[in-house]
């Protein structure tokens, strides 16, 4: 009789116990506590970005498959896995739509918080990194008629696509958003990409967004830039040395969240499904993906006070991103030992967040249905919303 496989799984991977128990015995653990002792007798290791997977963790273990429910893989020593004949899979693009919705939501929140408020269509956005997330951000920006400047040197080398422009031109945009992988050894390293030299090229009132990795930004340089340019706006979802984040920088941000941009329910389920498919292929099984809890498909009755901002109002009604901010007053009152625990607790206890595609806009219940012209309806559909309309 063949012994069932032993599987170590980060407890924050969505539906892990239900989905992966088909392959063997599941042990759910805190991803930050995964160590050699926990994995030494396991066959499969499934992690998220908080677990560093390398030789020091896996040497002299039985692990034959590593999966990461993430789009980035800077926490994985893929060279070591290949040399050790350990199969590896991850979830590229699983959270692309979720992150793009975060960028759009944060910009709408900023536009409405500004005095006077501004229209996104009057802005120019520089998108650095044009993979699955960056391209999705552009899709949303196109809906709002935002001019987009694109920069992605590796992709330009591969495609010679003339729509890409130099970094210096991108940095002159009103908004600059980062969607690059974290790389240190490559032709175009992104570690500390955002340096003094990078920042001095930005406009003094730039809206700067980072949802990629904290180490892409030199935080000391960014803090100096903000102090010298108080009109600049910082929107940060990722930080150096998570969960020990820079409290001085947290104080200066407009939106500062605990690495949850990609945390929509749909993104988590996509990542889990991608790992399930990879395991199924690796072990040559015919397992069926289990049926999960039904989505809610909640209706939104539009509460539109400004007919010129119908779509923005609906988006903020769907998700008030400001509620996801790390509270600086609370965080600053915690001890040095308590702060990382609080940061992790925000991630672990993050409420369920649905993507636009899970929301029905009930136009029939709106006080003024006439404001939903064909163009508005079409753009809501392009964003992913479903519409109820007689």
Q: For position 175, which CATH number holds?
A: 3.40.50.720
Tens-digit pLDDT profile for residues 324-359: 999 999 999 999 999 999 999 999 999 999 999 999
Query: Which positions are annotated as active-site residues?
Result: 213, 242, 259
184 backbone dihedrals φ, ψ, rounded to 5°: -115, -40
Roughly what angle, to the nearest 10 degrees, separates helices 310-318 and 374-383?
30
Assign 389 a pLDDT band (cuts: 50, 70, 90): low
Mean pLDDT in residue range 102-106? 98
Specify whether 119 is located in the same domain as 223: yes
Tell me the two tokens of residue 295: 């989505």
Tell me the two tokens of residue 9: 């799984």
The answer to whether position 346 is within a domain reads no
Specify whether 121 is located in the same domain as 51: no
Tell me the two tokens of residue 170: 């991108």
Between 362 and 229, residue with greater pLDDT: 229
Specify whether 206 is located in the same domain as 116: yes
State which residues form the domain around 56.
5-90+264-282
Q: What percent of the chain has pLDDT over 70?
A: 97
Q: What percent of the chain has pLDDT over 90?
A: 89
Tens-digit pLDDT profile for residues 167-190: 999 999 999 999 999 999 899 999
State yes or no: pLDDT of 390 exceeds 70: no
Specify whether 134 is located in the same domain as 44: no
Assign 294 a pLDDT band (cuts: 50, 70, 90): low
The domain total for the chain is 3
Mean pLDDT in residue range 309-331? 95
3-state secondary structure of 270: helix
The answer to whether position 326 is within a domain reads no
Specify whether 152 is located in the same domain as 225: yes
3-state secondary structure of 264: coil
State yes or no: pLDDT of 286 exceeds 70: yes
Q: How far apart are CA 283 and CA 1, in angstroms?
A: 17
State yes or no: pLDDT of 375 exceeds 80: yes
The answer to whether position 17 is within a domain reads yes
Would the pTM of this model clear 0.85, i.e. be above it? yes
Specify whether 63 is located in the same domain as 154: no
Q: What is the dihedral of CA 107, 110, 116, 118, to 10 degrees?
A: 0
Specify whether 278 is located in the same domain as 189: no
**Would you state the pLDDT for residue 130?**
98
Assign 295 a pLDDT band (cuts: 50, 70, 90): low
Assign 2 a pLDDT band (cuts: 50, 70, 90): very low
| Boundary of a domain, candidates 201, 222, 256 | 256
The answer to whether position 24 is within a domain reads yes
**Would you state the pLDDT for residue 23?**
95
What is the rounded end-to-end Cα distance, in angstroms, of the chain? 61
| Burial status of residue 285 (CB atoms within 10 A of its CB: 0-12, 13-18, 19 or more) | exposed
Tens-digit pLDDT profile for residues 225-246: 999 999 999 999 999 999 999 9
Mean pLDDT in residue range 264-272? 97
Specify whether 277 is located in the same domain as 217: no
Specify whether 137 is located in the same domain as 239: yes
Mean pLDDT in residue range 265-271? 96
The answer to whether position 325 is within a domain reads no
State yes or no: pLDDT of 106 exceeds 60: yes
- Please work out, in degrees rounded to the nearest 5, the angle formed at the alpha carbon of residue 315 by the alpha carbons of 310 and 320: 130
**Would you state the pLDDT for residue 318?**
93
Specify whether 78 is located in the same domain as 13: yes
Alpha-carbon Rg for the chain in angstroms? 22
The answer to whether position 238 is within a domain reads yes
Of 90-94, 105-109, 295-299, the least confident: 295-299
The answer to whether position 288 is within a domain reads no
Assign 368 a pLDDT band (cuts: 50, 70, 90): confident
Report whether 355 contacts 384 (CB < 8 A). Answer: yes
Specify whether 277 is located in the same domain as 215: no
The answer to whether position 328 is within a domain reads no
**C-alpha dist (Å) from residue 92 to 53, 61, 138, 267:** 17, 27, 18, 11
| Host H or E run for residue 112 | helix 96-113
Mean pLDDT in residue range 111-125? 95
Specify whether 364 is located in the same domain as 232: no
């Amino acid at each position: 009789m063949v012994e069932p496989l032993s599987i170590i799984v980060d407890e924050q991977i969505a539906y892990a116990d239900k989905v992966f128990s088909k392959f063997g015995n599941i042990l759910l653990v805190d991803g930050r506590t995964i160590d050699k002792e926990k994995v030494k007798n396991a066959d499969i290791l499934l992690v998220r970005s908080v677990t560093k997977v390398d030789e020091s963790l896996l040497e002299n273990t039985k692990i034959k498959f590593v999966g990461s429910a993430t789009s980035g893989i800077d926490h994985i020593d893929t060279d070591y896995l290949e040399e050790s004949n350990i199969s590896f899979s991850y979830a590229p693009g699983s959270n692309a739509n979720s992150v793009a919705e975060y960028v759009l939501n944060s910009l709408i929140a900023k536009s409405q918080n500004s005095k006077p408020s501004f229209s996104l269509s009057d802005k120019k956005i520089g998108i650095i990194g044009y993979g699955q997330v960056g391209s999705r951000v552009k899709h949303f920006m196109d809906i709002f008629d935002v001019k987009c400047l694109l920069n992605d040197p590796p992709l330009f080398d591969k495609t010679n696509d003339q729509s890409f422009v130099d970094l210096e031109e991108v940095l002159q945009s009103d908004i600059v958003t980062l969607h690059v992988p974290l790389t240190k050894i490559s032709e175009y390293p992104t570690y500390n990409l955002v340096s003094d030299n990078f920042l001095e090229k930005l406009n003094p009132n730039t809206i700067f967004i980072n949802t990629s990795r904290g180490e892409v930004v030199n935080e000391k340089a960014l803090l100096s830039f903000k102090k010298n340019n108080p009109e600049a706006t910082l929107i940060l979802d990722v930080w150096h040395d998570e969960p020990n984040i820079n409290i001085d920088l947290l104080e200066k941000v407009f939106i500062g969240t605990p690495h949850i941009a990609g945390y929509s329910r749909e993104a988590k389920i996509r990542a889990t499904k991608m790992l399930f498919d990879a395991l199924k292929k690796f072990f040559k099984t015919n397992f069926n993906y289990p049926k999960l809890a039904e989505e809610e498909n909640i209706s939104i009755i539009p509460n539109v006070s400004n007919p010129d901002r119908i779509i923005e109002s609906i988006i903020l009604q769907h998700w008030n991103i400001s509620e996801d901010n790390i509270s600086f007053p609370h965080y600053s009152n915690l001890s040095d030992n308590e702060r990382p625990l609080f940061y992790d607790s925000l991630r672990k206890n993050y409420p369920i967040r649905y993507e636009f595609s899970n929301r029905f806009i009930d136009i029939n219940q709106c006080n003024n249905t006439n404001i939903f012209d064909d163009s508005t309806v079409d753009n809501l559909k392009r964003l992913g919303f479903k519409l109820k309309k007689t």
